[in-house]
Chains A and B, each alone.
Chain A
Amino acid sequence: MSMTPQIYSLTKAMLQQGIDKALTDYKIAALTHKENTDQPLYDYISNSNQIVFAYQPTVLSPKKFLFPQEETLTTYTNDGKVTATINAFPQVLFGITPCDLNGIKLMDEAFAEGYGDPNYLAKREQTIIIGKECDKVCDQDAFCYKVKANHIATGFDVMLYPNEANNNFLIKVATDKGLAFINKYFATSKGDEKLLQDFLARKEKNFSEKSFTKLDQFPELFERHRHHPIWEQEGSRCLSCGSCIMVCPTCYCFDVVDNTELNLKKGTRTRKWDACMLSAFAVVAGGENFRHAATGRLHHRINRKFNFLMRKHGQSVCVGCGRCVRACLAQISPKTIAAAITNDEAV
């Protein structure tokens, strides 16, 4: 569809009022705090007061709402009945920042390519995405701007532009789905184009550090430097714990396990998050391990982000959210590796 994006304006109070109305029809996930703590996470909310408007990086990304940690694929019974299971319901992902919006866009492309994944696509179809632009870097571990993932043009239904106090929002509607959602639940007024320009100027100023200068050449550079010393340097510290994959917005490898109930009458075939950095990821039944070294596994994972998949998607598949940097016990960072491979000065 092509439509000229309209700009609306909303106070925080009106925004919350709309969310509370929509909660009667949708499950809504937003940035919130874990109960009785100040630990930020994305979770389904029951009222809009639970929403945290000032962005704080989370441990897990919002990918879990489209690609859950555990998901039933089929159910089976001992009298031979086998059924495909697809669990999809109307939901809204509220306040998703550009790094994670890029993550979702990349996952959309990955699950739609070739054999379309019915479970992901069914969930995605019933999901409305409301993004929230960032006007500054969230912390010292994030490096979204280095891989240009602090910008996003498509892949969401509505975008929010908060003012500095987070009490007033400009809204840009990007899709018909988004327009219908806004019209149904929110009392908006017309937005001021100038305020949007102010936001964008503020963003430009605050993201003063620019992207990797050779970002576009990453696939060739990573191909050429297959045996760069950085791989052994970083890989030798890897504990193969898999944390980097769990927290990553664009990782989606999965294992499949059958679980039969104790009465042996029925069971479920479930897929669960898996991690290519775990030592047994490429082990076959005969015992051969096709990627037995941690260094090789690190090389494989980072090359997916900056080389193999970057060629397919036309953008860096690492979105620089910084989650793996925060999670890694061995302080391995894609930013360090990319800087070494591409000889960038400023890390």
Chain B
Amino acid sequence: MTANAPLKLQSRDDKLYLPVPAKIIAIKEFTAKEKFFRLELPQGMSLGHVPAQFVMVSLFGIGEAPISISSPPSKDNIFELCVRAVGDVTNNLHRLNVGDVIHIRGPFGHGYEDSIIQRMQGKQIVFIAGGLGYAPVRSLINKVVPEHKNYEKVFVLYGYRNPSEKLYDEETKAIAAVGGNVEYLETVDKSDATWKGNVGVITTLIPKINIDPVKTIAVICGPPVMYKFVVKSLLERKVPKENIYMSLERRMKCGVGKCGHCQMEGVYVCQKGPVFSYADVEHNEEAL
């Protein structure tokens, strides 16, 4: 038999595993466990990312962790992350202050590249974010919402566990205020005494939006358990599977398709993903 396609060396960089410094220039505490970081690369260096790519965040002495980029593409040397403290790297990142220097490698992976953005022009875009999933989707929301006149409709659906676990509160209020063809809906799984909005899981928002499925492109990010249900709801609304996009996550130690940890049935999430269409993964039993 012959190989699928000839294996080719695409790049050989002696600095593949060598991170560059990034200075923390702003920190905002969203919740007890989630913090926003604004970072500055050395002068003249730009991250050069597309929405939903990720970087490997390095704390020397602790280790590396993959974190999705939370800011839209930009030409300057600034980018933003929203990080939940769950493990060694992230808990130690939370202990740092403005002025401290961390290191990063990247950007890595396939995000929402030009080809996908082109497909989205003039369509009805539905952003569906669950919890911390708002952070990666924000890198595309903050590009699309300001350019909302290029799209027929823009929906931003955000669901989080309870009112105290909301991220980017000011920004979502600003999105809600845009009006016109931009619609913002939010829901909580569990309300508190003061909550007056929707209560229910994220899928309860989907019937509330008026979409033409043929023109709809969905951009989803959230905890692993969420995808099956959201995808099912969208398929029931007849959104084509090629138009349902998701950001998947797995364990990553290298970010460059070598260490093996991020695979789903042989597909490297750090290389082919993290952004996949449902059509890409519907037969991959390790995906959703």
Q: Which residues from chain A sit less than 8 Å from chain B, CB to CB? A: 73-74, 76, 80, 82-84, 86, 109-119, 121-122, 216, 226, 252-258, 260, 267, 269, 271, 274, 276, 281-286, 288, 290-291, 296, 300, 303-304, 307-309, 311-315
Contact for A286 among B86, B253, B257, CB less than 8 A: B86
Q: Tell me how many residues of B have a C-beta within 8 Å of chain A.
A: 51
**Contacts A80-B21, A114-B256, A288-B224 hold; do A281 and B261 have CB atoms under 8 A apart?**
yes
Chain A residues, CB < 8 A from B251: 281-284, 290
Give, as a whole number of angstroms, the nearest-CB distance from A250 to chain B: 12
Q: How far is the CB of A240 from chain B (nearest CB, A)?
A: 16
How many angstroms between the C-alpha atoms of A288 and B259 in the bound complex?
19
Contact flags B246-285 to A (C-beta < 8 A → 1, else 0): 0001110110111111011110000100000000000001
Whether A84 lies near B60 (C-beta < 8 A) is no
Most chain A CB atoms below 10 A, which of B2, B60, B224: B60
Asked whether A253 lies within 8 Å of B261 as measured between CB atoms, the reply is yes
> Which of chain A's residues have a CB closer than 8 A to the CB of B263?
276, 300
Is the Cβ of A118 less than 8 Å from the Cβ of B266? no
Q: List 15 A-B contacts (CB under 8 A).
A: A84-B17, A84-B18, A111-B258, A254-B259, A256-B63, A258-B60, A276-B263, A282-B250, A285-B88, A286-B86, A286-B87, A291-B286, A307-B266, A312-B4, A313-B3
Decide if B7 touches A257 in the complex (CB within 8 Å). no
Decide: B16 and A118 in contact? CB cutoff 8 A: yes
- Assess whether B60 is in contact with A115, with CB atoms less than 8 Å apart: no
Cβ-defined partner of B9 (8 Å) among A112, A253, A300: A112
A257 touches B63 (CB 8 A): yes
Instruction: Chain A residues near B18: list those with CB within 8 A.
Output: 74, 82-84
Does B258 contact A312, Cβ atoms closer than 8 Å? no
B13, A303: Cβ atoms closer than 8 Å? no
Which residues of B sit under 8 angstroms from A276, Cβ to Cβ? Answer: 260, 263
B3–A311 CB distance below 8 A: yes
Considering the chains assembled together, what is the distance between the CA atoms of A311 and B266 in angstroms? 11
Q: Judge if B10 is at the interface, Cβ distance under 8 Å.
A: yes
B14 touches A118 (CB 8 A): yes
Residue picked from B16, B61, B224, B271, most chain A C-beta under 10 Å: B61
A113 close to B250 (CB less than 8 A): no
Main secondary structure of the interface of A (DSSP, over half): mixed
A285 and B12 in contact, given A253-B261, A300-B263 (Cβ under 8 angstroms): no
Contact between chains at B61 and A258 (CB < 8 Å)? yes
State A283–B87 Cα separation when bound (angstroms).
12
B15 at interface, CB cutoff 8 A: yes
B40 proximal to A (CB < 8 A): no
Docked Cα-Cα span, A114 to B109, in Å, equals 12
CB distance from A32 to the nearest CB of B (A): 30
Please give, as numbers and ranges, the residues of chain A lying within 8 Å of B86 by CB-CB distance: 285-286
Interface assignment of B11: CB less than 8 Å from any CB of chain A: yes
Q: How far is the CA of A88 from the CA of B9 in the complex (A)?
A: 19
Given contacts A74-B18, A216-B1, A303-B266, whether A252 and B258 have CB atoms under 8 Å apart is yes
Contacts of B61 in A (CB 8 A): 76, 258, 260, 267
A148 to chain B, nearest CB (A): 10
- Decide: A82 and B16 in contact? CB cutoff 8 A: no
Q: How far is the CA of A135 from the CA of B224 in the complex (A)?
A: 52
A260-B61, A285-B65 are known contacts. Are A255 and B259 too (CB-CB below 8 A)? yes
Question: Taking A82-B60, A308-B265 as contacts, is the C-beta distance between A115 and B1 under 8 angstroms?
Answer: no
**CB proximity of B142 to chain A, nearest CB, Å:** 25
Residue B196, interface by CB 8 Å: no
Task: Please tell me if B19 contacts chain A, counting CB pairs below 8 Å.
Answer: yes
Q: Which residue of A lies closest to B65 (CB)?
A: A285
